[in-house]
Chains A and B, each alone.
Chain A
Amino acid sequence: MHRLLFACAAAILLSGCETLGTTPRWMPMALNNDTPYLQQLTPEKAKAPSDDGDVQEDVRKMQSLGLGLVYHPELEQLLNDELQRIKDASGFAEVPGRVFILASPTMNALTTDEGNIYVPIGMLMDIQSMDEVDALLAHEFAHTVLSHTDTDMLKEIQKKGTAAYAMVNRLGMDAGNADSVARRIRNGVALYMATEKVISPTWSRTQETDADKLGVDFLVQAGRNVNGMTALLGRLDQWDKINAKLRENDKPKQSMLVAAASSQFAQNEWQALLIQAFDPIGQQVEDGIAQAGHTHLGPEERLNDVNEYVRAHYRKAARPAVDSKTWRKVAHSQKSKRLAQSVAQSHTAFRSVSQGKSSAASNALAKSRHRDVNGQTFYQLALATVAEDRGRSKEVLALADASAANAYPSYRLQVMAQQAKARQAGGKADSAELKALYEQFDVYGRPAEFYYDLIRLADTTDNVGLKVELAVRCQAAYFGDANACSSGQKQAEAKQETGLVDGLLGIFGK
């Protein structure tokens, strides 16, 4: 259901992505292959550093996406030293942004509009040298320099996905254990969105190739071996396969969503079958869109393009010895490996909870218990998700409390804590605490997926001002799409509005 919606949103947005972006002052109207790209740019015209507040807000937003960020100061420092080395060598020293490590099992780095680069920890485990990691950073930094970073599309997809699960949450309210089903669906969609956001390419094919080529220039300027890019691109094919597998596994279970729709709308077996019949159609449409939206060139094509560029401009440039030792010492330390493994297990646990397999989730997390891991937000979040699923509010609160002082806390855990408190208080949230939570919402950059949770909490209080403010802001954020801006309180009205046909439209078409 939401997948179709997601797919349609993606199709519309992807079809419009050619118009994204404008030419920055330091770039010519078009880049040509006759001279190295870097020589065609004028770094002195590069933009002044962004507002530090925006950069921080961007980080906090990512802290709340999926399992958030990994706190590994040594590795983070090494990555940022390398990014700075590339910036200094390229002449774009003032361009803002830092590198962060994503607690995601996906294999695709992400660059945001604020210039921050987010690299999943698994990629860092595969990379074998400083030269190769510099190739990755140089490529991502090139996206920033070439002003490719426009996250509007991702924001739209996230908003639509959020609207979909808000709708499904509303549908599930009548069922026997509605709250837990709704929560699982929500977790499933949150996981999918987190995976999708990292995996989904934001750039067009030309932008991707341009970033590869400018990345090569950066690499050479930084005194690294240009073959770091060859090694990096050599791994892409297998990374793509891992991403495809993850995308498939993290799709919220359609059967669960279809079951919710069936129980809500089907008057008889025939109608239930009719609803279920939409499942493969939705699947087909989405798969088709996923293919169309896969704007990255194939790894082989990218490698050929880069090789051609290197032969044209750097054929006889020195190939300094690759530095594997420094890289492996930090990135492949026991601590790094442990953290990488626990990210994978936390992800598995999160997925298991959304599938109703709480014991499997607990088992996966038990394997990760270690002093390097216990204080990580992603781990605490996964533990809290299991505790929430089992109705252990005290445990959720303790974990949220423990993670509040972490370097990279998650807004998701704060929301979960308020929900746990409300459950303990017989379903009523504390108005003052909710107000504080709402203030934090701004600090975290108002991640769209939490509007629905905040609205539901606000509905349990008598704080009319907050309710109105949330509704207005949510409506504005969703451009009038009201689905995610009202809570389960209105489900009786919703039920009246939606019969079988409308329900199907609501699920598959809106």
Chain B
Amino acid sequence: MKRDIKRFGLALAIAALCHSAAAADLKISALAADSTELDLFSPAADGAYIKSVDQSALKFPIAILEDRNGGFVVRLEGKKYYVNASDVVANNAYDVTAGCDNTFATELVGATRGIAGKGC
């Protein structure tokens, strides 16, 4: 029993480590070519528009806390915001069949494993 708990704890620790490592790897390096401002939205369920921040007020790289499939959650001046993926240059990738939980036709894809949505 004790051994099982230890194993479970170890697995949990590895999973947490992997997750934080993946999240730490995700960064915004710049605004998209034609943007001069970054639009900030609430990361809550309603996703309301909050404000736009001028490029000069931003310090890159900005760590991405969460990849939300088309947008990112970031922390700016101590507050969490949701930003559009299309407004920024980031090192995320929209994974396809080579993804970690997708067993479909993996032999067809030569792409390297990227960082996809949640749980990957």
Contacts and interface: CB of A to CB of B under 8 A. Distances in A.
A196 to B, nearest CB: 17
Interface stretch (B6-14, B22-30, B64-72): B64-72
A258 B86 CA distance: 49
B108 A126 contact: no
B96 interface: yes
Given A238-B96, A319-B41, A231 B69 contact: yes
Given A231-B94, A238-B94, A128 B45 contact: no
A332 B101 contact: yes
Interface string A49-61: 0000000000000
Contacts, number: 128
B103 interface: yes
Given A235-B94, A235-B96, A318-B41, A227 B69 contact: yes
Count class of interface residues, chain A: 35 or more
Contact of A322 (B69, B86, B102): B69
B116 interface: yes
Interface string A101-133: 000010100000000000001100110110110
Interface stretch (A267-275, A282-290, A337-345, A421-429): A337-345
Contacts of A235: 94-96
A493 B44 CA distance: 76
Contacts of B49: 316-319
A121 B103 CA distance: 12
Interface string A235-269: 10011011001100000000000000000000000
A308 to B, nearest CB: 8
B32 to A, nearest CB: 8
Count class of interface residues, chain B: 35 or more
Q: What's the dominant secondary structure at chain B's contact region?
A: loop
Given A318-B46, A340-B103, A126 B95 contact: yes
B71 A227 contact: yes
A341 B108 contact: no
A307 B84 CA distance: 10
Contact of B105 (A122, A228, A318, A322): A122
Contacts of B102: 125-126, 332, 337, 340
Interface in B97-112: 97, 99, 101-105, 108-109, 111
The 10 closest A-B pairs by CB, nearest first: A227-B70, A128-B117, A234-B94, A231-B70, A319-B47, A344-B105, A238-B96, A316-B49, A340-B104, A230-B70
Interface of B: 32, 39, 41, 43-49, 68-71, 82, 84-86, 94-97, 99, 101-105, 108-109, 111, 116-119
Interface of A: 105, 107, 121-122, 125-126, 128-129, 131-132, 225, 227-231, 234-235, 238-239, 241-242, 245-246, 303, 306-307, 310, 315-322, 324, 328, 332, 337, 340-341, 343-344
